[in-house]
Amino acid sequence: MATFLSGEPEKHGIFLDAEIEAERTLAFLRILSAFILSIPHFSALSLSPTDRAFGVQLPSMLALATFFLTGTFALFLIRYGQFRLWMRYVFAVVDAIMVASVCYLSLKLNSLSGAWLFAAPVIWSMPLLLTVGALRYRPAIQIWSTLLFVFALAFVFISLSPVSNNQFTSSPGVQRLFSLLPSVSRLCLIMLTGLASIVVMYRARSLLIRAEEQAYATAALARFLPPEIVPLVAKGDEWIHGRRQVVTVLFVDIRNSTQIAEGLDPKALSHLISSFRRIVQQAAKENGGVIDKFIGDGAMILFGVPDPTTDDARRGLNCGRDILRLIAEWHIDSLASHQLTVGLGVHRGKVYCGIVGDENRREFTVIGDAVNVASRIEQATKQFGIPFLASREVVIAANEDNRWNLISSEPLRGKQNSVSLMAPKI
């Protein structure tokens, strides 16, 4: 579709498809209008001598032919990718010339002065053209069309006013209705129709631009942020400034990943890592966790983000159990040559949550001692030879004291304070 509008310095790509569809719709409406307006010419009404008069049929057929030919030509250009932005202005000029020509012939062939301008039926095609022209979402073209119509009518009015011979006679009431003041009022109404359509078009275009900018901003954020955080960031700047809250943090890591990588070809290694990530994503989704990030062959999952709940700890422990279960099921179902073993550590505490970075790259991050402790607990699974460990804080918060055994109360590596580590009962 973009080739149809080549050469247009359009910033907002959302309009490319929308505008070409608008031109296609306008072309169909022109053709449809030509067919509908031609019905009276083939009905019983056209059998009367008055309706068959040269001064009535010729202007009308000229208008219908213009509608049909311009609509067909526009569809042809769109069909073969030759439509260009500047052609819209040309079609507007053709419409104005058609209105002026038909009005002029209608009055001239019936010996009427310019005062009877608004008695010509083609005049009332202008509100139709201005209304459907609003589909373009282009205020500049609508302004152009409105001015052209006004100039066309003014030209006809001046050219045929007054008629020096064979002046049309009518009752005083009819003459008053077609005097200068009512005619100017009708002209103003046509101008107001164009103005109203411009305002509507400008409003619709502004809303589309705003929607597109929000969509682009959301898409850009989605490249770097967890999906659950993106809508919140798009709504306001709370997460830009960050906040402190209690979260449950789960770390999971593939054991012996270096040895596995050395023993697998790239395709098999890619399949293994992808399977691991699918398992983590499924477990996190089922338990309402937010995957903060994948770190090589590991991942960090948060519970209580964006908003803390009373069951964050329980969901974190359930997620760990689900990961182990899904890995066991994957071993049964897959033909992988290597067994996938992992270590999981869960802890709970107050952390800073927020968005860091600049416009080129933003990242959702969680900073705090609870994150470091959760990472150390995951590493401690190697020391104790247990795949799943959790701190007492998490177990108590989840109300699962009877399901876990205390295995250590020593300080973790790199930490001074002791942490009570617990392992699930077999």
Residue 255, pLDDT score: 87
How far apart, in whole angstroms, are the C-alpha atoms of residue 326 and residue 283?
8
Specify burial of residue 99 (Cβ count, 10 A radius: 0-12, 13-18, 19+). buried
How far apart, in whole angstroms, are the C-alpha atoms of residue 121 and residue 98?
13
Q: For the chain, what percent of residues have pLDDT higher than 90?
A: 22
Question: Most distant CA pair in the chain: distance in Å?
Answer: 116
Indicate the DSSP class of residue 418.
B
Bridge-based pairing state of the strands 290-295 and 298-303: antiparallel
Most confidently modeled of 227-236, 273-282, 315-324, 406-415? 315-324
pLDDT classification of 166: cutoffs 50, 70, 90: very low
Specify burial of residue 167 (Cβ count, 10 A radius: 0-12, 13-18, 19+). exposed
More confident residue, 17 or 255: 255
246's enclosing H/E stretch is strand 243-254
More confident residue, 170 or 307: 307
Residue 257, pLDDT score: 78
Residue 63, pLDDT score: 79
Please state, as a whole number, how many other Cβ atoms lie within 10 Å of the Cβ of residue 423. 17
Tell me the pLDDT tens digit for each residue of 26-75: 888 788 878 877 776 665 445 455 555 554 567 778 878 888 898 899 89
Cβ pair 224, 365 in contact under 8 A: no
Residue 399, pLDDT score: 93
Output the CA torsion sign for 277, 283, 285, 287.
Answer: negative
Residue 364, pLDDT score: 75
Lowest mean pLDDT among 123-127, 234-238, 244-248, 326-330: 234-238
Residue 378, pLDDT score: 93
**pTM, rounded to two decimals:** 0.54
Cβ pair 351, 371 in contact under 8 A: yes
Residue 412, pLDDT score: 82
How far apart, in whole angstroms, are the C-alpha atoms of residue 217 and residue 59?
53
All domains in the chain, ordered by first residue: 2-221 (no CATH), 230-424 (3.30.70.1230)
* Identity of the residue numbered 178: F
Q: Which residues contact 407 (CB under 8 A, 6 or more apart)?
A: 384, 386, 389, 421, 422, 423
How far apart, in whole angstroms, are the C-alpha atoms of residue 95 and residue 85?
16
Most confidently modeled of 33-47, 215-229, 275-289, 407-421? 275-289
Residue 216, pLDDT score: 61
Most confidently modeled of 50-64, 133-147, 223-237, 249-263? 249-263
DSSP 378-414: HHHHHHHT-SEEEEHHHHHHTT-GGGEEEEE-SBPTT
Q: For the chain, what percent of residues have pLDDT higher than 70?
A: 69
Lowest mean pLDDT among 95-99, 117-121, 196-200: 196-200
Chain length of the chain: 426
Of the candidates 190, 86, 106, 112, the one whose C-alpha atom is nearest the C-alpha of residue 148 is 190
Most confidently modeled of 11-20, 222-231, 326-335, 384-393? 384-393
Residue 230, pLDDT score: 61
